[in-house]
Amino acid sequence: MGTLVVESLALNTAIDVPLNLRRIHRIPAWNAASGQPAQWTLIDFTCPDDVGDELARQLAAALAPGRWYADYATDTTSWVVFAGRVFTYPRGDDTGRQEASTYARTIGVPEAQIDWPR
C-alpha cells in the first residue's frame, strides 16, 4: 500500500501503471516544508507486486524536484522514491530504510515526513 501526494507531481507528467485506488482525500499539510502547498490531495493505493519497480521508475521521472517523495510497500518490499532517485529494500531492512532516510534529510525533507513504514 502507498500514498501519493498529487501536488508532488511535476507538470506534464503521468503515472501509467495499474493501481488500485483505495481513497482520495484532502488534508491540511501540517508538516509542509518551505515551497510546499498548505493543503495536500492524497491518493491511497495498492498495486500488484509485479509493477512495484515500474511504478518507482515512473515516479522518479514524474515527481517534482525538491523535498517531495512517494513511498509504498508490498508484503516483502519497500520503495521510497524521490525525483531521479529510488530506494528499494526488503521490508524490515533497517539499513535500506536508513539509506532512504539519510538521503531525505540531505534534500531537506522535514523529519516529521520521514515516516514511511518499516
Domain-wise residue ranges, the chain: 2-112
Query: Which tens digits make up the pLDDT trace of 66-103?
Result: 889 999 998 899 999 999 999 999 999 999 999 999 99
Query: Which pLDDT belongs to residue 118?
Result: 73
Q: What is the mean pLDDT of residues 8-22?
A: 95
**35 pLDDT more than 80:** no
**65 pLDDT more than 80:** yes
Q: Which three cell numbers stand for residue 113?
A: 515526513
What is the number of other CB atoms lying within 10 angstroms of the CB of residue 76?
10
pLDDT range class, residue 37, cuts 50, 70, 90: confident
Dihedral angle sign, alpha carbons of residues 103, 27, 25, 41 = negative
Query: Which pLDDT belongs to residue 88?
Result: 96
- pTM of structure: 0.89
**29 pLDDT more than 90:** no
